[in-house]
Amino acid sequence: PQAIHLQDYRAPDYWLDATELEFDLHEDHTRVDSRLTFRRNSAAAADAPLLLNGQGLELLSIHLNGTLLDAQDYQLDEESLTITTVPAEFVLEVSVRIDPAANTALEGLYRSGGMYCTQCEAEGFRRITYYPDRPDVMSVFTTHINADAEQYPVLLSNGNKVADTTEGGRRRVTWHDPHKKPAYLFALVAGDLLVKEDQFTTMSGRNVTLQIFVEPRNIDKTEYALDALKRSMRWDEEVYGREYDLDIFMIVAVDDFNMGAMENKGLNIFNSSCVLANPATATDTAYQRIEAIVAHEYFHNWSGNRVTCRDWFQLSLKEGFTVFRDACFSADMHSATVKRIEDANIMRTVQFAEDSGPMAHPVQPDSFIEISNFYTVTIYEKGAEVVGMLHKILGKEGFRKGTDLYFERHDGQAVTIHDFVQALQDANKVDLTLFKRWYKQAGTPVVQVESHYDATAQQLHLTLRQHCPDTPGQSNKLPMWIPVQLGLIGSNGDDLPVQVSPANAWTEASQVLHLTESEQTFVFSGLAEEPRLSLLRDFSAPVKVDFEQSDEDLLFLLQHDSDGFNRWDAGQRLMLRWIDRARAGRFRLAAAEQQALSALLADTQLDPAMVAYLLNLPSEAYIAEFSAVIDPLAIHSARRQVQQALAVALASDFAACYQRLHSTAPYQPQPAAMAARSLKNLALSYWVKSSAEGMEQARRQYQQADNMTDQMAALVALVNSGERVQAEALLADFWQRWQHDPLVVNQWLAVQAGSAEFGTVEQVQALLQHEAFDWRNPNKVRSVLGAFANQSLVNFHRADGAGYDLLTDAVLKLNDSNPQIAARLLTPLTRWQRLVPAAGQVMKARLQRIKEHGSLSKDVYEVVSKSLI
Ligand code: HT7
Ligand code: ZN
């Protein structure tokens, strides 16, 4: 397979003004007739051929301006249709036949359960018909859907419904979308669905109908998403001045979906796990995920749809910006500090790992083989961090001025990341040239810190040095513009005023120091005492900080830092030290440390969700990312040891905290109640490790819970308690209770596959044989194989390589049926160079086995070949 390069981008030779599609859905095939109105780009040569993309299509006929073409008039291959000679303006009519029922890749038009649905981003539309399937070709769509009237009473596409007739048992519905769009935003749904409806009045007083379509059994799970949608619509009006632009906004839930959801214009399609919830079946985490994804897809209406990407190298233009927008929305709905902690956790575990591995790429990649492989944490989360840094640099008002200009200037266009930054720059009259390196350079910069206090001069000298490690294809990187938010803390715990030289390196409003060179020294004056440094507050840049601070300093920051994020960060750094010491056999919890944790647990002024994070040990993946060489078994046992020590030392604190927060009030998916449950259940997870009373309480909570958050937390606590017999009994009970509900069953599968106790290779193999498992359903694959390889690290990394074999076999099987999922599943194996050599070599051998397999998809080929370099 060939790589595609950003530098080869060329504007299309033909623009497409109108797209008219006629779908005729039958059980054993679908016929698609298209009518495309083309116009030559004035910059193109008069003899430029017309190039259309197409994959897996059976071509029936082509008419050009009404004349049937024959085989000499065009060239056809596996991936394209080229029409050699076309006039400057013409109408092309193409008829094809496709087979949605046989489409297991879930790209293009496919069947999920009893319904038809589509997934066209990034390049799925070319599996529906021959088309210029590139995001800079935008057109107005009219879509007719013909189907059996009884079997498919709901027929949906983008825009507004303009006609609906039934004849001879076949229904024909027509949709028209007045907004021009690229094909990746096209959607079609046909099914026997129920709808939950609501209304929203926009800021200019227009009425919008909101609809969520679901299979009938799920109609009691739509309320929360509908509520989240209305809150998102209001938030985008208030924070960005963006109003919805159609009379109807629809969401459809489908069970088989490769990702979380898709922002098709006016017709979002959601993985059912990211939209359906009721208290009995969904955890608080699921509720928050639903809220964030509903918001994310809705926000794309402006950041992605009204202003879209010129080409797929610009993917982060819409994804990074939209993740930033949804993160701010979630921060506003819940706790901003907790949201920041969650996002930093993802960055530091998943994104930093990607950025130091073989698939490392810049936020704006310069080449790819398969674009589906680039829907990554770098494009999404690091992209959002980059936008967040722009927000910090420009300030709230400056950023809003910039986004207003961006939306106004580029409405209806397909643009680049450069255009986005340019709009922010023009609106604020700043020079962001240097900042743009964040988009071009891969890798996680490391900031080394050296500080020296001069008591006589009452000054602190702070030297910051930055370097960014080499990544595949990139070495000798240039310094980045790193906004370092910081505070100087006095011995009473208060922030001291900052007077810094050079003064232009400091932005008072955001308390940010601008590091722009490879080494800079800043002098802070007027300091009567040596302050403690609180660096990179609010995780102000996606970097690693290398700064020697004593245990005492970290404990002090954990107790006193006014920046909640850095309180948590100080705690994590301290806990990493404990885990390191446990590995060396010399961990002992100091009395002051125990007292500090105990005080946090008893502190009723602090947000309980934040306290839960403060008391949570770094995950195994987090510890791994902070280890020079990863030894999963050593990490697992050291972490367990520290966990057990905390459970014992703070047993009465955890019990008291649990009892204080345990409530019998009916479940509410509200922020304050969620925060209380998170701390209560954290306390329970420790409490079960120290006493029979804790175990008994967990059993009681499991039996009596009126909601899935508490039931699942109790189950997980028992599964991880080491009391195997009891855990087995509850797992069996859980299956009996919930086997009818696929989304709950997915949680049950993941709890087992992701646990050290129940996620052994043999047990995971048994889960793959279980009646609940289905290879065609990505959620099931993720629940079992994803949880196993990413969470059950001791089992996945079993010394004899059986864990790697399990994953390798699964990847090869999925390579044929669903390449996108196969390639994603492969990620843990690609990290082989970071593992202790014995494990790393075994992993590498499995990658070689995959590479040697006969017919690899582009998706899997790209990941494997890049990982073996
Ligand atoms: N923009 C959407 C991307 C997406 C996708 C990409 C590849 C394959 C399947 C997919 N499903 C959805 C999701 C989003 O970021 O909103
Ligand atoms: Zn998105």
Average pLDDT over residues 239-248: 98
Q: CATH 1.10.390.10: which residues of the chain? A: 312-546
For domain 312-546, which CATH number applies: 3.40.50.1100, 3.40.50.11780, 3.50.50.60, 1.10.390.10?
Answer: 1.10.390.10
The predicted structure's pLDDT at residue 360: 98
Pairing of strands 4-5, 367-368: antiparallel
- CA dist 652 and 656 (Å) reads 6
Task: Tell me what the mean pLDDT of segment 110-125 comes to.
Answer: 98
Pocket lining: 122 vs ligand 1, CB cutoff 6 Å: yes
* pLDDT the model gives residue 258: 98
Check: CB of residue 773 under 8 Å from CB of residue 749: yes
Rounded distance from Cα 262 to ligand 1 centre (Å): 5
Rounded Cα–Cα distance for residues 105 and 99 (Å): 12
% the chain with pLDDT above 90: 99
Which tokens sit at 831?
A: 């990290």
For ligand 1, atom 15, the nearest C-alpha belongs to: 319
What is the distance between the alpha carbons of residues 95 and 32, in angstroms, rounded to a whole number?
Answer: 6
User: Is the pLDDT reported for residue 161 higher than 90?
Assistant: yes
| Distance between CA atoms of residues 355 and 454, nearest Å | 38
Cα–Cα dist 189/13, whole Å: 32
Domain with CATH 2.60.40.1730 in the chain: 4-299
Q: Which two tokens stand for residue 669?
A: 């998916």
Task: Please give the pLDDT value at position 592.
Answer: 98
Sorted by sequence, the CB contacts under 8 Å of residue 703 that are 6+ apart come out as none
Active-site residue identified among 107, 263, 297, 381:
297
Q: Report the pLDDT value the prediction gives residue 707, as an integer from 0 to 100.
A: 98
pLDDT at 158: 99
pLDDT of residue 854: 87
Token couple for 597: 């944790």
Whole-complex ipTM = 0.99
Residue with tokens 């949906």: 156
Full 3-state SS string of 573-638: HHHHHHHHHHHCCCCCCCHHHHHHHHHHHHCCCCCHHHHHHHHCCCCHHHHHHCCCCECHHHHHHH
Q: Tokens standing for 89?
A: 């303006």
pLDDT in tens, 309-326: 999 999 999 999 999 999
The per-residue pLDDT for 183 is: 99
Mean pLDDT of the chain: 98
**What is the pLDDT averaged over residues 7-25?**
98
On the question of pLDDT at 472 being above 90, the answer is yes
Q: Which residues contact 729 (CB under 8 A, 6 or more apart)?
A: none
Please check the confidence at residue 678 and state whether its pLDDT lies above 90. yes
Give, using CA atoms, the residue closest to atom 2 of ligand 1.
262
Looking up tokens 């810049």, which residue turns up?
Answer: 362
Atom 14 (ligand 1): residue with closest C-alpha? 262
How many Cα atoms occupy the beta-carbon half-sphere of 176 within 13 Å?
5
Looking at residue 474, the DSSP 8-state letter turns out to be B
* Rounded distance between C-alpha atoms, residue 288 and residue 291, angstroms: 5
pLDDT digits 0-9 by tens, 588-645: 999 999 999 999 999 999 999 999 999 999 999 999 999 999 999 999 999 999 999 9
pLDDT at 8: 98
Q: Where are the beta strands (DSSP E) in 318-416?
A: 367-368, 414-415
Burial of residue 332 (number of CB atoms within 10 Å: 0-12, 13-18, 19+): middle
User: What letter does residue 418 receive in the DSSP assignment?
Assistant: H
Sheet holding 154-157, edge to edge: 108-112, 115-119, 188-191, 154-157
Strand 459-467 to 519-524 pairing? antiparallel
What pTM, to 2 d.p., does this model score? 0.99
Ligand 1 pocket test, candidate residues 121, 263, 318, most atoms within 8 A of CB:
121
- Examine the residue annotation and report whether 297 is marked as an active-site residue of this protein: yes
Q: Is 123 in the pocket of ligand 1 (CB under 6 A)?
A: no
Select from 259, 300, 379, 820 the residue to mutate for testing ligand 1; criterion: most ligand atoms less than 8 Å from CB.
Answer: 259
Q: Give mean pLDDT, residues 561-572.
A: 98
Phi and psi angles of residue 211, each rounded to the nearest 5 degrees, phi first: -135, 135
Whether the CB of 760 sits within 6 Å of ligand 1: no
Q: Does domain 4-299 have CATH number 2.60.40.1730?
A: yes
Residue 433 class from Cβ within 10 Å (0-12 exposed, 13-18 middle, 19+ buried)? exposed
